[in-house]
């Protein structure tokens, strides 16, 4: 009797490993969506440093907001109002650029006007724990599928669908398009990322360990399911392992996607 109880308790023991190795990233996500009945597409932008949203912009509000968990961004805005105004201007310009791009691309696909289409852009940089440039990206997707991306090594545009050759032709006619973005992701992006990491170090450099709860469900025919819920952790990267008598138990384990709690921490 005593023995079986002990075995059951051991079964519930959980091991959590902190796997965050320390690289950092800054990423911008732009999305433009056409909407029937509106002349202008809606244009949204979210900017992230690591797993934290630092800013967002929406043409429906016409204003740039700092991320809810990035109090240090708010401080930066107050200290440098010109910076925020300039960023807002750039985003309004981007909204126009996306409007034209959506017109071009729906033309390349021979789509009639008035449909609902999306154009997304993702760009940014990743740095090592020593904050040196590791990797950059600059890429577009149309209607949820990869469209075109910049190859930073060769400074050429890589098409992902045949229709994108039209865009490639336009952007390759003027080498400044590729050069400007290469310089941004490799130099400008890294400089800003370092600045944000310095300003927001209390938030961005922290590691919040998870709190974990284990629940146990027994099905009518006697099969037992154990469920582990880890929460309140940061950064997002986590690995969960079941241990039984100190042995890893990888079989019959199902994971759900790690999700944001909305307060700057994550759950899995």
Cβ(46)–Cβ(53) below 8 Å: yes
Site for ligand NAG in 155-214 (CB under 6 A): 167, 170
Minimum Å gap between C-beta 170 and ligand NAG is 5
Minimum Å gap between C-beta 102 and ligand NAG is 8
SS (H, E, C) 36-48: CCCCCCEEEEEEE
Q: Please say which residue, 92 or 99, places its beta carbon nearer to ligand NAG.
A: 99
- Using CA atoms, how far apart are residues 204 and 49, in angstroms rounded to an integer? 8
Q: Which stretch binds ligand NAG (CB under 6 A): 48-56, 101-109, 223-231, 236-244?
A: 101-109
Site for ligand NAG in 4-33 (CB under 6 A): none
Site for ligand NAG in 71-100 (CB under 6 A): 100
Minimum Å gap between C-beta 37 and ligand NAG is 23
Minimum Å gap between C-beta 138 and ligand NAG is 13
Query: What would the DSSP string read from start to end of 228-264?
Result: EEEESBBSS--EEEEEETTEE--TT---PPPEE-SSS
Site for ligand NAG in 224-263 (CB under 6 A): none
Assess 63 for contact with ligand NAG (CB under 6 A): no
Name the strand (E) or helix (H) holding 32: strand 24-33
Q: Please say which residue, 26 or 102, places its beta carbon nearer to ligand NAG.
A: 102
Assess 104 for contact with ligand NAG (CB under 6 A): yes
- Using CA atoms, how far apart are residues 156 and 150, in angstroms rounded to an integer? 6
Residue the block writes with tokens 């039984």: 244
Cis? peptide before 96, omega within 30° of 0: no
Q: How far apart are the first and last CA of the chain?
A: 34
Residues in contact with ligand NAG by the rule CB under 6 A: 100-101, 104-105, 167, 170
């Amino acid at each position: 009797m005593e023995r079986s109880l002990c075995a059951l308790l051991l079964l519930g023991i959980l091991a959590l490993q902190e796997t965050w190795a320390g690289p950092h990233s800054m990423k911008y996500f732009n999305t433009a969506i056409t909407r029937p009945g509106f002349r202008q597409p809606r244009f949204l932008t979210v900017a992230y440093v690591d797993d934290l949203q630092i800013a967002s912009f929406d043409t429906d509000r016409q204003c740039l907001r700092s991320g809810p968990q990035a109090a240090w961004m708010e401080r930066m805005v107050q200290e440098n109002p010109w910076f925020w105004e300039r960023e807002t201007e750039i985003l309004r310009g981007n909204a126009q650029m996306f409007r034209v791009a959506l017109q071009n691309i729906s033309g390349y696909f021979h789509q009639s006007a008035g449909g609902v289409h999306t154009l997304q852009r993702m760009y940014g940089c990743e740095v090592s724990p020593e904050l040196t440039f590791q990797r950059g990206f600059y890429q577009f997707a149309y209607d949820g599928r990869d469209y075109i991306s910049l190859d930073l090594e060769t400074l050429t545009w890589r098409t992902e669908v045949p229709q994108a050759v039209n865009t490639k032709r336009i952007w390759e006619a003027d080498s400044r398009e590729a050069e400007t973005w290469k310089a941004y992701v490799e130099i400008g992006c890294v400089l800003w990322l370092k600045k944000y990491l310095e300003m927001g170090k209390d938030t961005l450099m922290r590691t919040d360990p998870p709190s974990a709860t284990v629940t146990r469900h027994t099905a009518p025919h006697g099969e037992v399911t154990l469920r582990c819920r880890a929460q309140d952790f940061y950064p997002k990267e986590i690995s969960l392992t079941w241990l039984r008598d100190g042995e890893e138990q990888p079989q019959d384990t199902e994971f759900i996607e790690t999700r944001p709690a909305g307060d700057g921490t994550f759950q899995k």
